[in-house]
Structure 1
Amino acid sequence: MNNWVKSGIPIQLHSKCIIASFQLDLHKDLLKLFQQELLDEIVKHNNIKGIIFDLSGLEIIDIIDFEHIRSIISMIKLTGFDTVISGLRPTVVSSLIMMDANIDNLLSSISLDEALIILDTKNDN
């Protein structure tokens, strides 16, 4: 029997991109599980264009969880792939700015379609 506990964050492959859809309240243990699951998917699908974090299902993100997401993005960058954050609600963006979150050098989009275009464009270069 496999004792592996899944994070509950769906990870799927679409148009040669790994898409992770965040819909649960975030916390440290969940994000650690997700990080390992995502790394396993990157190893399994090493011919991808990049990764998309669909955050449209989140109504709030605290600064600690956001920094953990940033560290996951940094880990992904070490694998040679880009990550696009998609679907952040204006209220979430506003609260992150108010908390002085480091938003520098993040690729972002309003929608999944736009995120796919960004990764297509980056891979055409």
Structure 2
Amino acid sequence: MLVPILKQGDYLIASVQSELSDEDLLKLRDELVKRVGELRSRGVIIDVTALYVMDSFATRTLRAIAHMIRLRGAETIIVGIQPEVAFTMVQLGLKLEGVMTALDLEEGLAYLQTLHTSKRR
């Protein structure tokens, strides 16, 4: 399953629309890291609203994506984690350490805009 990646100004938005296999997650990682450089993006939002399961591999991969993108000079925000998913992640000890999260796409975009506005000053 391919994840659509849209360019919105200086940002990329990857909208996960269904459950992803491990291979799909790795393809998403590679494509996002590549596009950040090609498009000189300043931020990436990964919308996981459609995910109702987040296992340890998915959590590790999302965390790795965020760290790789930061090394490329952009910030990553993961948005849309469902309440049940958040509950399960906490129960299983799965963490997105060092990764910004937001309630939804709107909040994620607002955070990136605030972040980049404050960096310009």
| TM-score, length of structure 1 as denominator length | 0.87
Aligned to 2:50: 57
Give 1:57's aligned amino acid: A
1:120 and 2:113 matched: yes
Aligned to 2:72: 79
Give 1:15's aligned amino acid: G
2-structure distance, mates of 1:82, 1:49: 7
Runs (5+) with no aligned partner, structure 2: none
1:95 and 2:83 matched: no
Q: Which range moved further: 96-105 or 85-94?
A: 96-105
**Contact persistence 2:11–2:45 (CA under 8 A):** yes
Runs (5+) with no aligned partner, structure 1: 1-6
Query: Which protein is richer in helix relative to its size?
Result: 2
**Contact persistence 1:49–1:120 (CA under 8 A):** no
| TM-score, length of structure 2 as denominator length | 0.90
Runs of 4+ in 1 over 6 A off after TM superposition: none
- The aligned length equals 118
**Contact persistence 1:18–1:52 (CA under 8 A):** yes
Give 1:95's aligned amino acid: T
Q: CA-atom RMSD, angstroms?
A: 1.3
Q: How far is the alpha carbon of 1:19 from its aligned partner?
A: 0.3
